[in-house]
């Protein structure tokens, strides 16, 4: 009886209904699938950066697809099929604008792509039955997912800077080190304190690989610590929702926690790397 009841609650959550009994996830003990996806996503971003601008834009499109398919499940969005269609179109539009834009402002059209996609998401919600329950939640699901993809788009122009690809690789290595070390948080006595060893691991990893990639050790330390801690915190906050019980949502969480670091990488690159 309890098994059937659990399955019913999960099915209801997939359909976007509010199920209070499903239960939140202990985000200090996230499924190992999340960690595996984080490591794979970081590897894709790093390899694409070394391959160049076009490869990074293509990787963004691939990761956007992987993320937005599971995002409506993760956040329990209403009308998940419709939200998924809007997100797929919006995510690909963001990647396309970055890939096709030339000149010094490669992110120029990203805000337009995001704004139009959010508007389409709002219209999609309005097309639901007359009562349109949870309208705000549906629009918020679209906007938050596209914000993550847009942040990931910030990684692409960094590849055009001198030592930009290497900068991204060092950051992804620090992020990956933090993701592995955060697994110590699965021990009850550590739990939320895992952010400390994860951050330290990110800094150490960044320091070790910075010099071989032609970057100052101090840059590696700062970049590794920041990305490891921010990515870890993202998983801790977003991963606590009931939707994270589903595997497709766990994939979305892992990808999101990497893409959201894009703006940080771009900002630090502007401070640490030459423009030409």
Residues 24-77 have pLDDT tens digits of 788 888 899 999 999 999 999 999 999 999 999 999 999 999 998 999 999 998
Q: What's the confidence (pLDDT) of residue 273? A: 86
List b or e across 228-261, with b for residues whose CB sees 16 or more CB atoms inside 10 angstroms. Answer: bbbbbebbbebbebbbbbbebbbbbbbbbbbbbb
Spans in the chain with pLDDT lower than 50: 1-9, 12-21
User: Alpha-carbon torsion 25, 26, 32, 34, what sign?
Assistant: positive
Q: What's the confidence (pLDDT) of residue 78? A: 87
Q: Compute the distance between CA of residue 275 and CA of residue 242 in angstroms, rounded to an integer.
A: 44
User: Quick count: other Cβ atoms within 10 Å of Cβ 8?
Assistant: 11
Q: What's the confidence (pLDDT) of residue 13? A: 46
Q: Compute the distance between CA of residue 106 and CA of residue 137 in angstroms, rounded to an integer.
A: 31
Q: Which helix (H) or strand (E) holds 174?
A: helix 164-181
pTM: 0.88
């Amino acid at each position: 009886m309890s098994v059937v009841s659990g399955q019913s609650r999960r099915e209801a959550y997939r359909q976007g209904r509010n199920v209070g009994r499903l239960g939140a996830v202990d985000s200090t003990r996230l499924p190992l699938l999340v960690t595996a996806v984080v490591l794979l996503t970081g590897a894709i971003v790093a390899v694409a950066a070394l391959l160049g601008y076009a490869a990074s834009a293509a990787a963004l499109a691939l990761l956007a697809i992987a993320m937005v398919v599971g995002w409506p499940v993760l956040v329990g969005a209403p009308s998940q099929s419709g939200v998924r269609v809007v997100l797929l179109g919006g995510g690909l539009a963001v990647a396309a604008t970055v890939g096709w834009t030339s000149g010094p402002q490669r992110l120029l059209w990203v805000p337009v792509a995001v704004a139009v996609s959010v508007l389409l998401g709002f219209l999609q919600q309005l097309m639901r039955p007359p009562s349109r329950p949870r309208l705000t939640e549906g629009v918020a699901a679209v906007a938050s997912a596209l914000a993550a993809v847009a942040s990931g788009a910030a990684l692409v122009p960094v590849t055009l800077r001198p030592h930009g690809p290497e900068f991204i690789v060092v950051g992804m290595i620090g992020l990956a080190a933090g993701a592995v070390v955060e697994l110590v948080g699965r021990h009850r006595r550590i739990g939320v304190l895992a952010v400390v060893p994860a951050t330290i691991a990110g800094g150490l990893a960044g320091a070790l690989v910075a010099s071989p990639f032609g970057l100052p050790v101090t840059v590696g330390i700062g970049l590794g610590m920041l990305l490891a801690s921010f990515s870890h915190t993202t998983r801790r906050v977003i991963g606590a929702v009931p939707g994270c019980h589903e595997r497709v949502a766990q994939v979305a969480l892992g990808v999101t926690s990497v893409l959201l670091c894009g703006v940080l990488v771009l900002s630090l690159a502007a401070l640490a790397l030459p423009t030409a």
